[in-house]
Chain A
């Protein structure tokens, strides 16, 4: 079945440093979504990417979808303590199928002030 892998699993940064998490799928994706989950909370939608090579920005966050639609990245510039949480990518396989939306294991962002 479809697998979505994320690296790194944990990332410690000093406040103000940049952060990047990478997502790779074993199959071509029709689209990819990114979610943030705060400790003790539930996933909150950040963005969806659909087109090959697409780049979207939200303030300090930059999201990219690979040309082959099998990988994606999230980059945060100048992290702040409010960025703490786990960032998940989630992809729908091209053509649908019984796997639904497959989430990666997430990258836990820990920020040291």
Chain B
């Protein structure tokens, strides 16, 4: 399968713990995006990378969230000191090109904070 992959698919953690998610984009895609989606809502933009550079970060993103894409390939999203409000589906998407174009979404990581 040459699509976007995300790991793990599900994560249950206790409040206050740190979690890290991984996204592997389509190999030739230079842009990578992270979104958060809660039930009944559209995906909410978190941040995006062009190659290894993090170009934009949502103003709503808490400083407990950090993302990296060290070699311009896979990316990780870390949430520190998780809160129950962090429970959501975390989606990764990738796209090719310098201008906004179609994004290919991965299956997501569902986070449950207890």
Instruction: Mark A residues whose CB is within 8 Å of B.
Output: 1, 4, 30-31, 33, 42-45, 48, 88, 90, 92, 96-106
> Which of A48, A88, A97, A100 has the most chain B CB atoms closer than 10 A to its own CB?
A100
CB closest chain-A residue, reference B89: A42
A-B contacts, 12 listed (Cβ < 8 Å)? A33-B102, A42-B107, A42-B108, A43-B103, A48-B101, A88-B42, A98-B58, A100-B33, A100-B58, A103-B42, A103-B44, A105-B40
The 9 closest A-B pairs by CB, nearest first: A103-B42, A100-B45, A45-B102, A42-B105, A92-B100, A103-B43, A43-B105, A88-B42, A105-B42
Q: A9 CB to closest chain B CB, in angstroms?
A: 8
Asked if B104 is at the interface of the complex by the 8 Å CB criterion, the answer is yes
Our count of residue pairs bridging A and B at CB distance below 8 angstroms stands at 60
Q: B32 CB to closest chain A CB, in angstroms?
A: 12
Q: A97 CB to closest chain B CB, in angstroms?
A: 8
Besides A97-B56, A99-B59, 15 other A-B contacts (C-beta < 8 A): A42-B106, A43-B43, A43-B105, A45-B103, A98-B56, A98-B58, A99-B45, A100-B45, A100-B58, A101-B45, A102-B45, A103-B35, A105-B40, A105-B41, A106-B41
Asked if B26 is at the interface of the complex by the 8 Å CB criterion, the answer is no
> SS class of chain A's interface: helix, strand, loop or mixed?
strand
Q: A58 CB to closest chain B CB, in angstroms?
A: 13
Asked if B57 is at the interface of the complex by the 8 Å CB criterion, the answer is yes
- Per the bound structure, the CA–CA distance linking A98 and B33 in Å amounts to 13
- Per the bound structure, the CA–CA distance linking A98 and B106 in Å amounts to 22
> Which of A43, A104, A106 has the most chain B CB atoms closer than 10 A to its own CB?
A43
Map CB proximity to A onto B71-91 as digits: 1 under 8 Å, 0 otherwise: 000000000000000000001
